[in-house]
Structure 1
Amino acid sequence: MVTIKEIAAAVGVSSATVSRVLNYDSTLSISNRKRQAIIETAEALNYATPRNRARANQQGLTKVALVHFLAPERELVDPYYVALRLGIERRCAALKIETVKVYHTDAKPDAKLLQEASGTIVIGRHDEDETDWLHRNSRQIVFADHVPYDDQIDSVSADLRAAMEKLLAALAQRGYRRIAYIGWGDRRAQAFVQWMTAAGWFDDRLFRSGDNTEEGGYRLTRDIIAQRRPFDAIVTFNDSMAIGVYRALHEAGLSIPQDIGVASFNDISVAQFLNPPLTTVHLPAEEIGEAAVELLLERVGGRELAKQINLASRIVWRASTRVMPGETA
C-alpha cells in the first residue's frame, strides 16, 4: 500500500504536511498549488486516507465478491481484464475491503459467496438471465465494463460506440475507405456497421465475428484475405486479435501500413512493441475498476438512484496506420 512518506517524497514536502492535507486540516497554511499537487499525487498513487477507509467500514462495505465472465486461464491472456480486476483490487485494498474472486464456469457460482458479501462487482458481459440471478443474490451490485439491460443497475464502462466512431472518423481522415472488421458482436461492432453504412463504405464480406484471441484474429484475417475483396485497413476487437492479424498479413506478403493499416482497442502493454507498433484505442481499464468500487460504496451508503457511468477513451497513434500531414511516424 502507498504510504504518506512516499507521497511526501514525490511532491517534495514533509509527511506531516501530506497527512494534514489529506485529512482536511483547515488550519494548515499551504499554497493552493501545493495542496492540489499533494491531492493529485495521492489519487494517482491510489492512496486512501484513514477517513476514507473508515467511511467504507462505517457504511458496511467490508467484503466484495468479484464475478468475472472469463475463466481464470482466459483472463490471464487478456491484459485488459487483468488491469480492470487489479484496479478493483487495489482500490479495495486501499480501503481495507476484502475481495473474493468468482470466475466463470459452466454452472452459476455458489449463491452464498454473493449473499455473504457486502456487495458484488460483476466484470464483463453477462446475459439477461445471469444478470437477473446475480442481482437477486447480491446485496448491492455494480457492473464493470458492461452496461446491463436494466437501467436500475449501476455500471461503469468505456463508451465503445463513441470510441469506434471516433476511430473510424480519424481513419477516414487518413484516407482509409475499405475498412474490414473482426471481433465480437458488441457495441463497437454495431457502431462499425452503422458508421460504415452511413458513409456508404460497408461491405459485409469484410466483416467477421468470432473468437477474440490471437488465434481468432489470425483465422478471421485469413478468411477476409481469401475473399479477394480489396481492403486498405482492418480494425480489430482487441489488441490480442491484432497480433494474429499481423501474422496473417505477413504470411500473405502484405506490409503494415504500406498495404494494410491496422488499428485496435485496449492499448495493452505489448501493443507498443509490435513491429510496427500498433495504433490502438486506449480504454481506461484500471479506472473502470476503481470507479466500480466507488459506485458500490455509494450504494451501500444509501444511494437509491442508479448511475451508469461512461469513461472517455483516446486513440494512441502508432506506426501501424498512415501518418497525417504534419505528424511524425
Structure 2
Amino acid sequence: MVTIKEIAKAVGVSSATVSRVLNYDPGLSISSTKRQAIIETAEALNYATPRNRNKAGANGTPQTPLSRLAIVHFLEPSDELADPYYVGVRLGIENRCRDLKTEIVKVFHSDTLPDPALLQSASGVIVIGKHSANEIEWFERHCRHMVFADFDPQSDAIDCVHSDVGGATQKILNQLNAMGYKRIAFVGSHEHLNGETQPYGERRCKAYIDWQKEHGTFDPELLVLGDSCDSGQNLRLETGYMLAKSVLDLKTRPDIILTANDNMAIGTYRAIREAGLSVPDDIAVVSFNDIPVAQFLTPPLSTMKIHGEHIGETAVDLLLERLSGRDYTKNTIIATEMIWRESCRKPAETRSL
C-alpha cells in the first residue's frame, strides 16, 4: 500500500503537507502547482486515504471514486431558481450524487472565478451552462476531471453532455410548416458570452434564421430578440412579454410564435391576452423546455422537452467513467421530445425528436 511518505518523497514536500492537501485542509498555504502535483501523484500511485478506505461497504466493495464533486454554475442563485429547467439540471446531479453518497460543493456565478483550491480538492467538477474560452482554459488548468453540462465547449479534450436545441428547432419548424403554419415568429435573445454580445448567435435563434432562409421565408420583422445581459436574465417571462407585444403590433401578425423557452412563452401568453386575443385561435404558441407549469397553463403549452435532469445525471456518470480509467473524450447528446398540447394544432402523430 502506498504511503504518504512515499508521495511526499516523489513530490519533494513534507509528509505533513501531503496529509493536509489530501484531507482538503483549507488553512494550508501552498501554491496551486504544488497542490496539483500532490493530488496527481497520489492518484497515479492509487493512494487511498484512511477515510476512503474506511468507506468500503459491509461486503468489502469500495465506494465510488467520486468522493467529492464541485458544481460550478453560470447563473446566480436567484436566476437559477427563476428557471425551473436549470433547477432540473442541478437536481439531476444532486440525486445521482445522493445515490453514490458523494459530497457536493456548489459554486454559483459571481464576478470572480472560484477558488482554485476548492476545485483541486474535488474528485471532479461539473460546469453548468455557457462559459467563455478564457474561463474554459482556466478550468482546464485547475480541475482534475471536468464535465460541461448543457453546454458544448467545442473541445476535443473536455467531456460534455447537452441537447441539440438547434436541430430540435428545425424539427419544430418542419412540423409547424407541415401543419399549415406559414408566418412563424421567433421570440428569443442574442448570445451573450465573454462580456460581449454575439448577435443571432444563440443556437435556437441561429437555427430559426437558417431554416427560414433555406425555405425562402425569412422575414426580419418576425425575429424579435431581447437585449443580451448577464446570467441569462434575458430569457425571463418579463422579456417574453415585452417582445411578444412588439410582435403583436405588426401590421400582419404571425400565425404562431416560437419562444426560446417556457418562461418567455408565459410572458407571451400574457401579451396575447392583454391584446384581446386568444391562444391558439388567434395566435398559437410553442416553446422549449417543458417546465412543470407548462402543462397547467390555459391552454396547456406545446413545448420541446429538454431532459435537464438526465443531462445532470449523465454528467455525473461521465465523471465516474473518467475516474474509472476512460482516456478518450465523450460528447453526449440527450434526445429531446416534443410534447404537443393545446396551444397549437397537433400533428397526426407525435414522436421523440
TM-score range, shorter chain: 0.7 to 0.9
**CA–CA distance in 2 between the matches of 1:212 and 1:235?**
13
Residue 236 of structure 1 and its aligned partner are, at CA, apart by 0.7
Query: Contact 1:120–1:142 at 8 Å: present in 2 too?
Result: yes
| Deviation readout 1:216-275 (Å, 9 max, x if unpaired) | 100111122233343111111110110000001111122111111100000011001111
Q: What residue number does 2:27 align with? A: none
Q: Which structure has the greater CA radius of gyration?
A: 2
- Structure 1, 263-272 or 217-226: larger mean CA deviation: 217-226
Q: What residue number does 1:214 align with? A: 237
**CA–CA distance in 2 between the matches of 1:249 and 1:56?**
59
Query: Contact 2:128–2:148 at 8 Å: present in 1 too?
Result: yes
Aligned-partner SS, 2:315:
helix
Structure 2 residues without counterparts, runs of 5 or longer: 1-54, 191-201, 227-233
**CA–CA distance in 2 between the matches of 1:85 and 1:165?**
27
Residue 192 of structure 1 and its aligned partner are, at CA, apart by 1.0
Residue 54 of structure 1 and its aligned partner are, at CA, apart by 9.9
Q: Which amino acid aligns with 2:266?
A: I
Q: What residue number does 1:135 align with? A: 140
**CA–CA distance in 2 between the matches of 1:324 and 1:88?**
34
Q: What residue number does 2:175 align with? A: 170
Q: What residue number does 1:92 align with? A: 97
**CA–CA distance in 2 between the matches of 1:54 and 1:242?**
52
**CA–CA distance in 1 between the matches of 2:219 and 2:289?**
25
Q: Count the aligned residue pairs.
A: 278
Q: How has the CA–CA distance of structure 1 residues 196 and 54 changed in structure 2, closer, same or farther, with 3 Å as cutoff?
A: farther
Residue 56 of structure 1 and its aligned partner are, at CA, apart by 10
> Map of 1:246-325 to 2, 5 A cutoff?
246-324=269-347
Q: How has the CA–CA distance of structure 1 residues 55 and 243 changed in structure 2, closer, same or farther, with 3 Å as cutoff?
A: farther
Q: What residue number does 1:226 align with? A: 249
Residue 165 of structure 1 and its aligned partner are, at CA, apart by 1.2
Q: How has the CA–CA distance of structure 1 residues 301 and 199 changed in structure 2, closer, same or farther, with 3 Å as cutoff?
A: same
Residue 58 of structure 1 and its aligned partner are, at CA, apart by 5.7
Q: What residue number does 2:262 align with? A: 239
| Deviation readout 1:185-211 (Å, 9 max, x if unpaired) | 421211111111111122112112221
Residue 144 of structure 1 and its aligned partner are, at CA, apart by 0.5
Aligned-partner SS, 1:81:
helix
**CA–CA distance in 1 between the matches of 2:328 and 2:138?**
21
Determine which of 205, 210, 213 is the counterpart of 1:194.
210
Q: What residue number does 1:159 align with? A: 164
Query: Contact 1:53–1:94 at 8 Å: present in 2 too?
Result: no
Q: What residue number does 2:150 align with? A: 145
- Structure 1, 93-102 or 225-234: larger mean CA deviation: 225-234
Q: How has the CA–CA distance of structure 1 residues 55 and 123 changed in structure 2, closer, same or farther, with 3 Å as cutoff?
A: farther
Query: Contact 1:124–1:144 at 8 Å: present in 2 too?
Result: yes
1:123 maps onto 2:114 in alignment? no
Structure 1 residues without counterparts, runs of 5 or longer: 1-49
| Deviation readout 1:29-80 (Å, 9 max, x if unpaired) | xxxxxxxxxxxxxxxxxxxxx9999999666321110001110001011111
Identity %: 48
**CA–CA distance in 2 between the matches of 1:275 and 1:171?**
20
Q: How has the CA–CA distance of structure 1 residues 119 and 278 changed in structure 2, closer, same or farther, with 3 Å as cutoff?
A: same
> Map of 1:68-83 to 2, 5 A cutoff?
68-83=73-88
Aligned-partner SS, 1:75:
helix
Q: Which amino acid aligns with 2:82?
A: V
| Deviation readout 1:77-114 (Å, 9 max, x if unpaired) | 11111111000011011011111000001221222211
**CA–CA distance in 1 between the matches of 2:134 and 2:276?**
46
| Deviation readout 1:109-132 (Å, 9 max, x if unpaired) | 222211111110011111111111
Q: What residue number does 2:219 align with? A: 203
> Map of 1:8-23 to 2, 5 A cutoff?
none
Q: How has the CA–CA distance of structure 1 residues 57 and 160 changed in structure 2, closer, same or farther, with 3 Å as cutoff?
A: farther
Aligned-partner SS, 2:327:
coil
Aligned-partner SS, 1:254:
coil
Root mean square deviation, CA, Å: 2.3
| Deviation readout 1:111-164 (Å, 9 max, x if unpaired) | 221111111001111111111111211111000000002122100011112211
Query: Contact 1:56–1:95 at 8 Å: present in 2 too?
Result: no
Q: How has the CA–CA distance of structure 1 residues 282 and 325 changed in structure 2, closer, same or farther, with 3 Å as cutoff?
A: closer
**CA–CA distance in 1 between the matches of 2:267 and 2:58?**
44
**CA–CA distance in 1 between the matches of 2:283 and 2:206?**
23
**CA–CA distance in 1 between the matches of 2:105 and 2:152?**
22
